[in-house]
Chain A
Amino acid sequence: MRAVHQPWGNICRVGGRVEALWHQPSTRHLALGILLFYTMTLGLSPWYAAFMMRSHHMGTAELGVWLG
């Protein structure tokens, strides 16, 4: 019998694996830690330039070289 591609089956399988990750405390804590860290670093990085412009009166050309 010819194999049929089943996208919903694949998505359900991934869902089951996510559930398994959540039920294991070590992976749950590590994943939440990485998630929080990403949120902090990605949340702050767009604001470096705004902070340097506002508090240190740097120009965009100078900041482009420094932050880059």
Chain B
Amino acid sequence: MILGLGGAAGVLFWWLRGHRWFAQDERGQMRFVAAALASLVPLFALFLLLPEKLYALIALMPWVVLACVIFGPAFALMQRLVVDEMRATTVAVVMLLCNLVGMGIGPQVVGILSDLLRPVLGSDSLRIRDA
């Protein structure tokens, strides 16, 4: 529910409303992306540190929405920065690298960190590591 609906809400928000706020203003779009990224930090800290599971899950919902909002402006700008003939290649190369590196190394790094912190933090290592 959270990942599916939240992700769809983030992408749809940018498509329906967000891009109109910064029409023809790539700098504004990147500022918006930076603000969204910065707001992910306190929201994720809330998700990890709230004691009640319902509150933690509610804190995760805006995190997912904001994380998905930034894909639209980021990839749109990426295609604007290159000449027309290179648009498809650019996005293909970036997506390939993102999936190879992000999906390949990301969970592994998180797991290794959790294992390394386990002697210090015990069963809370997952919580503190993410925080």
Contacts and interface: CB of A to CB of B under 8 A. Distances in A.
Contacts of B94: 31, 34-35
Interface residues of A, number: 36
Interface string B57-90: 1001000000100100011011001100010011
Contacts of A6: none
Nearest to A20: B86
Contacts of B56: 52, 56
B105 A43 contact: yes
A51 B48 contact: yes
Given A17-B86, A56-B56, A67-B3, 16 more contacts: A14-B93, A18-B93, A21-B90, A21-B93, A26-B81, A34-B75, A41-B102, A42-B102, A42-B106, A43-B106, A43-B110, A44-B106, A48-B3, A51-B130, A52-B53, A58-B53
Contacts of B102: 35, 38-39, 41-43
Interface residues of B, number: 42
Interface of B: 1-4, 37, 48, 53, 56-57, 60, 67, 70, 74-75, 77-78, 81-82, 86, 89-90, 93-94, 97-99, 101-103, 105-111, 114, 123-124, 126-127, 130
8 contacts: A17-B90, A24-B82, A27-B82, A31-B97, A41-B67, A42-B102, A42-B103, A66-B57
B109 to A, nearest CB: 6
